[in-house]
Amino acid sequence: MDITIAESTVAGTTQAPPSKSYTHRAVLAAGYADGAVVHDPLVSADTKATMRAVEAYGGSVSLAADDSTVEVTGFDGRPGTPDDVIDCANSGTTMRLVTATGALQDDLAVLTGDESLRSRPQGPLLDAIEQLDGDAESTRRNGQAPLVVGGGIDGGAVEIPGDVSSQYITALLMAGAVSPDGIDIDLTTELKSSPYVDITLEVLDAFGVEAQKTDAGFTVDGGQTYAPGGDYNVPGDFSSMSYLLAAGALAAEDGLRVTSAFPSAQGDAAIVDILDRMGADLDWDEENGEITVSQSELTGIEVGVEDTPDLLPTIATLGAAADGVTRITDAEHVRYKETDRVSAMVEELTKMGAEVEEHQDELFVYGADSELVGTTVEGRADHRIIMSLAVAGLVADGETTVTGAEHVDVSFPDFFDVLESLGAAVGK
Ligand SMILES: O=C(O)C1=C[C@@H](OP(=O)(O)O)[C@@H](O)[C@H](O)C1
Ligand SMILES: C=C(OP(=O)(O)O)C(=O)O
């Protein structure tokens, strides 16, 4: 489905969607427990993949008709052998987290996903499972899915790089807690995306599971039980909020208010500081979870995205509409996402008339001396590329067409309805 956005303004109040990262973890933690009710879950293509995986390992998942809760009956620390292949669809988080679950059962589990997911790196996690004497294979022996895992790991010590994906660490911590011996993780390189491990520690703590940072990495004791029968509330998603706030900073002449913006472990809350540094007129009422932002003259800044990879597309769009140079550094791991998002943003913003320069781990966006121009841009079946380009479309001259817009269902299924309800000129 192609979507067109014409140059337009936004105004009003909107609620941020629930956090994808917290929903994945809460649903899986409930699976590791004997069950829990997750309130305000994100119901999206990616989180549904995690729900399917919990069912494949022997849990059951029941979503309220209005999506307000998901009731999980867990497999209580002992995943069963799946009856069928687990389809993780487009979700890296699902694949990584439930690969480690699969290593806990004695038989074999097979995990696959869509073309994008089958091109993403899984090798370091497979190596880690092998270090724990589990079975872990890439069927094509290229470190990518389809994967086959099993072997009933007991736990132990692993060495793993930290600069490919933090999701490997999350996966090992969540599974390690119910392994007999626990898992000690020694990071062989610097950890990127580290706030996502903080989110994991926060969710584990809420389920009564202890895991810690160590000098070398992280550790989790084995033989723990995920607390049964609890209720878990999912906070709003700051990565999703970044598109709304960027839309506000670029196109809300009369201001835009975003609710469900309470502080949490999410690194992507950095979008508030980034917009502030770029000169946006913005206020975060942390107590009431509300951010207000108005259209502002933005200036380019330098931002490192080592902890906030999912913000790169949003920042690139903001940079293209700002004056001066925006330099986005520490971005190499952003190439391992649904698409290579560094190249994707360079190529698509260039089509819109922006001047962008790509390096292996950074990118320079030279602020628009002339206005961005509407044209057809490829969404590349990547939700974050689609949403960022749609926001750029709000300030581009004429009409911008974004291809494959239905892929926003991965993290923000009603993104275009929300944009339209705020007054943007969206054509479906
Ligand atoms: O654990 C998570 O919920 C996530 C971790 C990050 O990935 P990496 O750790 O692979 O950078 C992030 O990009 C992804 O959208 C969600
Ligand atoms: C990279 C992302 O998610 P995942 O790794 O779960 O596919 C994302 O949501 O931007």
User: What is the percent of the chain where pLDDT is above 70?
Assistant: 99
Tell the residue nearest (CA) to atom 1 of ligand 2.
337
Q: Average pLDDT in the 18-40 region? A: 98
**Is there a catalytic annotation at residue 40?**
no
**Which class for 283: exposed (0-12), middle (13-18), buried (19 or more C-beta within 10 A)?**
middle
Q: Average pLDDT in the 163-179 region? A: 98
Q: What is the pLDDT of residue 230?
A: 79
Quick one: which atom of ligand 2 is closest to the CA of 93?
A: 6
CA 219, 225, 229: angle at the middle one, nearest 5?
130
Ligand nearest to the CA of 170: 1
Token pair 């799946």 is found at 82
Rounded Cα distance between 62 and 178, Å, is 24
H or E, element range at 393: helix 383-394
Distance 166 CA to ligand 1 centre (A): 6
H or E, element range at 125: helix 123-131
Calculate the average pLDDT of the chain.
97
Q: What is the pLDDT of residue 371?
A: 85
Token pair 């917290």 is found at 22
Q: What is the pLDDT of residue 352?
A: 97
In the chain, CATH 3.65.10.10 covers: 3-17+236-427, 20-233
Tell me: is residue 193 an annotated ligand-binding position.
yes
pLDDT digits (tens, 9 = 90+) for 375-407: 999 999 999 999 999 999 999 999 999 999 999
- Residue 231's SS3 state is strand
Q: Average pLDDT in the 208-224 region? A: 98
Q: Is 369 a residue whose pLDDT tops 70?
A: no
166 C-beta closer than 6 A to ligand 2: no
Distance 336 CA to ligand 2 centre (A): 9
Rounded Cα distance between 205 and 413, Å, is 29
CA 342 vs CA 10, 103, 242, 268, 359: distances in Å: 27, 33, 17, 17, 9
Q: Average pLDDT in the 275-290 region? A: 98
Q: What is the pLDDT of residue 423?
A: 98
Q: What is the pLDDT of residue 174?
A: 98
Token pair 């770029």 is found at 278
Q: Shortest CA distance to 102 belongs to which of 134, 33, 155, 149?
A: 149
Sequence letter at residue 12: G
3-state secondary structure 26-64: HHHHHHHCCCEEEECCCCCHHHHHHHHHHHHCCCEEEEC
Q: What is the pLDDT of residue 307?
A: 98
Q: What is the pLDDT of residue 428?
A: 87
93 C-beta closer than 6 A to ligand 1: yes
Check if CATH label 3.65.10.10 holds for domain 20-233.
yes
User: What is the percent of the chain where pLDDT is above 90?
Assistant: 98
Confidence of residue 82 (pLDDT cuts 50, 70, 90): very high
Long-range CB pairs of 339-343, under 8 A, 24+ apart, other chains included: 339/116, 339/380, 339/381, 339/382, 339/385, 341/309, 341/312, 341/313, 341/382, 341/384, 341/385, 342/312
Rounded Cα distance between 421 and 428, Å, is 13
Confidence of residue 228 (pLDDT cuts 50, 70, 90): confident
411 C-beta closer than 6 A to ligand 1: no
Q: Is 68 a residue whose pLDDT tops 90?
A: yes
CATH superfamily of 3-17+236-427: Enolpyruvate transferase domain (3.65.10.10)
Q: Are strands 302-304 and 211-213 parallel, antiparallel or unpaired?
A: unpaired
For the question of whether the overall pTM of this predicted structure is more than 0.90, the answer is: yes
